[in-house]
Structure formats: C-alpha cells, structure tokens
Structure 1
Amino acid sequence: MISKGRHPKNSIAQALDGAREASMVVTEVHKGHRWGVVRCACGADFAVWSTPRNADTHAKQVDRFVAKHRACVTEQTGEFEEG
C-alpha cells in the first residue's frame, strides 16, 4: 500500500519530490482521476493525475512546470538562484 502523500507511480512520485524540494506546495486532493495539485508561489497550479496514460510523460510535465516556475519561488523568497 502507498503511504499517504505519495503518488502510486514511482516516476511521478520522484517528480513530486523534486517539486517539494523546489519549495512548491504539493497537495493531495482526490477528485475523480485527479490525485492532487502542485502549486507555485505565483498562484499557478498543475493538476496531477492518479492514472495517467503514460506515467513517465506525466512526470516530465511536472518537471517542466517546476522548471518554468522555479523563478517565481525564488522571487517570493527573495533568494537569488544562478543559472
């Protein structure tokens, strides 16, 4: 059994761990096929599905969302990130 707060697909669970490390809020909200939401400090969010057609592709989409919004998190916290 999967522990609460952990996605059942390993590739997506790893992508969500990366989102948490990037100071984004990962909320588990089961509603239909939706597993939860990744929220950025700017207010943008990304729906995470519990049963995606291709788990690896969905994990890459989560990674792209995190990469796109990484600057928002650093703006909100006042930190400077090189790169």
Structure 2
Amino acid sequence: MKRKRHTDKDIEAAIAYAEFKGWRIEMRSGHAWGRMYCPFNDAQCRCGEFCIASIWSTPRSAGNHARQIRRVVDNCSGHRDDVGEDGHESGF
C-alpha cells in the first residue's frame, strides 16, 4: 500500500530520502504524521536512540524538521560510511 504524501515539500523530500536509505514509514494520526523506523534496528544501533523518529504533521519550522529527519537517517550507525563491521567508528 502506498503511503500518503506529507503536505510540506521539504519534509516529503526528507521522508523520500529516508525511504531510499531503507527506513520504513508508518502513518499515524494526531500530532505525529507518522513514524520512521531504522532498517538496522539491532543492539549495535545506538540502543534505539536513532532507530525510531516521529514525523510531525505541522512542525514550527518545516525546514528544520526536514533537516532533522535527514540528520537522523545520516547519523544512524547502520548507514554511516565510517562505521566498521564491528559497529564502531573507524576514527577518521
């Protein structure tokens, strides 16, 4: 089933970026438009800190929220290029 598009174009682009990186998007109702779930949700993945994130319906600043969504995706230990097979940063 195809998901509904977010009404803000910047947030929608950030959601599409997360989906491209393998994150699963689930729709919600209320203040949260939805939630996104990391595909690498395991013990190595920062103890869940970046594994689940809310996507707000009407954030105060849509641009900031879109950047926050991308930052969560990019900072996930499963997506980072400088993380070795053991799950630790390589020290670059």
What TM-score results when the alignment is normalised by the length of structure 1? Answer: 0.75
Corresponding residue for 1:51?
58
Q: After superposition, where does 1:20-59 map in structure 2 within 5 Å?
A: 20-30=19-29, 32-40=30-38, 41-42=40-41, 44-59=51-66
Quick one: percent identity of the two aligned structures?
A: 31
Query: Quick one: which amino acid aligns to residue 7 of structure 1?
Result: H
- Report which of the two has the higher share of strand: 1
Q: After superposition, where does 1:56-75 map in structure 2 within 5 Å?
A: 56-69=63-76, 71-72=77-78
Aligned Cα root-mean-square deviation (Å): 2.0
Shift of 1:73: 5.3
In structure 1, runs of 5+ residues without a counterpart are 75-83
Superimposed CA distance per residue, residues 20-75 of structure 1 (whole angstroms, 9 cap, x where no aligned partner)? 00011011111x21100011031510001001000000000000001011x4258x
Aligned length: 71
Q: Stretches of 4+ moved more than 6 A in 1? A: none
